[in-house]
Amino acid sequence: MTEPTQAANFLHKLISKDLAEGRVARVVTRFPPEPNGYLHIGHAKSISVNFGLAEQFGGVCNLRFDDTNPEKESQEYIESIQNDVRWLGYTWDGEVRFASSYFQQLFDWAVYLVEQGQAYVCDLSADEARAYRGTLTEPGRNSPYRDRAVAENLDLLRRMKAGEFEEGSRVLRTKIDMASPNMNMRDPIIYRIRKVSHHQTGDDWCIYPTYDFAHGQEDAIEGVTHSICTLEFEDHRPLYDWYIEHLPVPHRPYQYEFGRLNTSYTVTSKRKLKQLVDDGRVAGWDDPRLPTLAGMRRLGYTPAAIRRFCDMVGTTRSDGVVDVAMLEHAIRDDLNANAPRAMCVIEPLKLVLLNYPEDTLEQLTAAAHPTREEMGERCIPFTRELYIEREDFREQANKKFKRLVLGKRVRLRNAYVVKAEAVVKDDSGEIIEVHCQLIEATLGKDPADGVKPRGVIHWVSATRGKRAEVRLYDRLFTHAAPDKGGDNFMAYINPDSLVVKVDCVIEPGLLDALPEQNFQFERQGYFVADRYDHSAEHPVFNRTIGLRDTRAKSGNQGA
């Protein structure tokens, strides 16, 4: 058994007790996503809990698709979910499982409930059923079809299965208690007619079980010991237990709940994420601005950072909203420790060294990482003409501006000290070149005359550097809670959440970058070679995160 990566939480204590008392011989958990969208950061927490607890206690975790609603499901989602779980570094036990693999057994158990007089076919319309159901303060009323004879219910159920009835005309309901204070116990639906093809079973079925009916029985079939879900299912637990206790299942699982993970400046509703995709507000489910795991992966987040974030958040019995800055801190920490360094100029301004020979090329060396010698060194070509960042030069500036100023000195990172002598402007008055003098013998040394440079700026050779596309991503929403209180979350979309720069210049060594390889572009932030679009012929880098969080200092908590 491996040690937990965070302080023992209530689930860890609970499982330890179950093992110590012999109630459980081996821990079996499961991660049961519905294949109706891509996984998001909230699912990462559920994955880390279910797979993590299984790992910690030497048990196993199943990956099971609860595919009981084929209208909204697809093979694309199934494949993306498997990819995400693997990417996070987890391995499920055995083959991928599907609720649809148990459809016949679930139907047989539905027949069993009918035979026991505990389920009936109901002909109420949706509106009528809603009226009969009651409210949180008023009990419901029994359906007029509740007392149908067992034989009639069996006949109607089999005819439902045979496709004789239209969608919405009949459902199969469990006979529990219409006066229960728990709305989930008021004769819940367990089968409904859906005449749609299923991505796994084709046209074999035209009735499908509800999630509440299927879930616990799937756990029982698979021998799950701890069925761990988020708090919204707490009110469903009595129903989960009722089915387990009233059906001849082969095993007794137990459900436990923990607080779901919500982050600020984010929406995680699959419906809302799908709306963003369908309306073209983002480029797809893997758009780097989305909180989907596929999007975060493309943005440059690492599995280690996401798993660390989930540990930092902890596992509790209460819901809450975590500041997205904590997630951003996790990726900064990871990339600061592991990402090699490089230089990229995003808004190029030419710098000409007047006293440097035109035909000279120096191959300077710099550490790939400032504290990790094992990562080696990189070569950086140095030439007479360079590019610097346009914002790193001013003709005049006060002492707080620690970059290049006319008549002042600055150090070029990993290279020489230079002094700005003059500028060249175009007809509109825009500066197009800065002419400088290179201060001799300053490679790795301070100037002999004792006049120190104002600061350090990055650069790239104008003749040996390579053009690249850089995509500057920022938070998708400007509001900390874009969908709170029924607000139109679309109104808070950040119009500057993506800025594309196509004339950036990078160190030539970055042409060798592999898709999904992370870098710190010195003085700029952390970037990743795009998973799909990047190539040596057309380099594309996405900004993962800035070097530091400047929002708190500036008071700008939006994008």
Active-site annotation, residues: 34, 260, 270
Buried b (16+ CB within 10 A) or exposed e, 261-271: bbbbbbbbebe
What is the rounded CA–CA span in Å between residue 99 and residue 474? 38
Residue 377, strand partner residues: 367
DSSP codes, 5-71: SSS--HHHHHHHHHHHTTS-SS-EEEE---SSS--BHHHHHHHHHHHHHHHHTT-EEEEEE----GG
User: Rounded CA gap, 2 and 244, in Å?
Assistant: 32
β partners of residue 468: 504
Q: Which secondary-structure segment (H or E) carries 86?
A: helix 75-87
Q: What is the dihedral of CA 132, 135, 140, 146, to 10 degrees?
A: 50
Distance separating alpha carbons of residues 417 and 437, to the nearest angstrom: 9
**3 state DSSP class of 506:** strand
Q: Which two tokens stand for residue 431?
A: 């500066």
Residue 406 is given by DSSP the state B
Closest by CA position to 178, among listed 186, 167, 166: 186
Kindly tell me the burial class for residue 4, based on how many C-beta atoms sit within 10 Å of its own C-beta (0-12, 13-18, 19 or more). middle
| C-alpha–C-alpha distance, residues 517 and 513, integer Å | 6
Give which of 416, 391, 394, 390 is closest to 407, Cα–Cα.
394
Q: Could you give the residue ranges of the DSSP H alpha helices within 196-313?
A: 211-222, 237-246, 270-278, 293-299, 303-313
Contact 317, 10 (CB under 8 A): yes
User: How many Å apart are CA 430 and CA 96, to the nearest integer?
Assistant: 61
| Rounded (10°) angle between helices 75-87 and 41-56 | 60
CA distance 388 to 156: 77
Q: Are 160 and 121 in contact (CB under 8 A)?
A: yes
| Contact between 40 and 261 (Cβ < 8 Å) | no
Separation between Cα atoms, residue 504 and residue 547, nearest integer Å: 19
**Residues sharing a CB contact under 8 Å with residue 306, sequence separation 6 or more, in sequence order:** 41, 44, 88, 293, 296, 330
